Each structure stands twice: as structure tokens, then as C-alpha cells.
Amino acid sequence: MSLAVFRRPAVACLRNAGARSTVLRIPSTSRRTFTSLLTTPRPSLQLPRRLLPPPTATSIVGITPTPFPSIGNSVGPTLQVRGHKRKTYNPSHRVRKRRFGFLARLRSKTGRRILKRRLLKGRKMLTH
């Protein structure tokens, strides 16, 4: 192939590919699954390596530089993005009973603890 092929638009290359015996393949940059298309990328608070200062004697010993020098190293890991908060409230009566109802509380260990705590406290209504 000559360099002229690379100067033409991709559509023209694909149109002429059927006439030739060579097959043009477009390499995929990344494999994405169906579920990865539905999720949005979450931001991270880590700085790229090129923005970090070069390693010094203190960073080699074990103290890593933080992207937030005024905060300190002890608070750094708590600033990680863990996920998004789930919307639990829905004004639908069915959804509310499904999420916070008596049978939903019985299904999990923490739900049974909630029922026990409310029963010991003397609540008339244990759940929805």
C-alpha cells in the first residue's frame, strides 16, 4: 500500500477495500462490555504520575506525597470516591413496602436487628 491510502478519508478506503484483495481492519482501542456502557466513569482524586513531584528521600522511606498537601497523609484515603448514593425514597406505596416493609426486614440480619430494637423500644408500628 502506498501512503496515499492513509491520506484519504476512511470512508473512501472502506469503499475501495472490496475491489482489492486486502482487507482493512480497524483496530479497536478497548473492549467494552454491555454493562460498562451503562455505567458512567467515576472520577478519582489521584493525580496522574506526570503531575506528581519526583521522588525524594522522604517519599522513598515510606511517606507518600499527597495531592492535598495541606490536609496531610492521614485523610487522603478517606477522600476516595467509593460509589454513588442510591436513591431509596420513592413515593410509591408498593416500593416503600418492598424496601422498608416487615418482610423485607425479616430477610436480612440487619433488618431483624431493626425489628428487635423497635420492639424493645415499644413502637406500635415496627415497619411500614
What confidence tens digit (pLDDT) does each residue in 27-52 have?
Answer: 555 565 656 556 666 665 565 556 65
- % of the chain exceeding 70 in pLDDT: 35
Per the CB < 8 A criterion, the answer to whether 48 and 59 are in contact is no
Per the CB < 8 A criterion, the answer to whether 39 and 84 are in contact is no
Establish if 106 belongs to a structural domain. yes
- Domain with 105 in it: 92-128
Establish if 124 belongs to a structural domain. yes
CA distance 110 to 104: 10
pLDDT at 88: 72
Kindly tell me if the per-residue pLDDT of 72 is higher than 70.
Answer: no
Establish if 105 belongs to a structural domain. yes
CA distance 29 to 126: 54
Q: What is the CATH number for 101?
A: 1.10.287.3980
CA distance 6 to 92: 58
* pLDDT tier, 96 (very low <50, low <70, confident <90, very high otherwise): confident
Looking at the structure of the chain, the number of domains it has is: 1
pLDDT at 50: 62
b/e per residue, 5-39, with b = 16+ CB within 10 A? eeeeeeeebeeeeeeeeeeeeeeeeeeeeeeeeee
DSSP tag of 76: G
Establish if 52 belongs to a structural domain. no
Kindly tell me if the per-residue pLDDT of 93 is higher than 70.
Answer: yes
Per the CB < 8 A criterion, the answer to whether 122 and 100 are in contact is no
pTM: 0.34
Establish if 100 belongs to a structural domain. yes
Establish if 62 belongs to a structural domain. no
CA distance 80 to 124: 41
Grid coordinates given for 36: 460498562
* pLDDT tier, 118 (very low <50, low <70, confident <90, very high otherwise): very high
Kindly tell me if the per-residue pLDDT of 97 is higher than 70.
Answer: yes
- CA nearest 5: which of 19, 64, 74, 32? 19
* pLDDT tier, 57 (very low <50, low <70, confident <90, very high otherwise): low
Establish if 13 belongs to a structural domain. no
Establish if 4 belongs to a structural domain. no
pLDDT at 9: 58
What is the identity of the amino acid at 123? R
* pLDDT tier, 90 (very low <50, low <70, confident <90, very high otherwise): confident
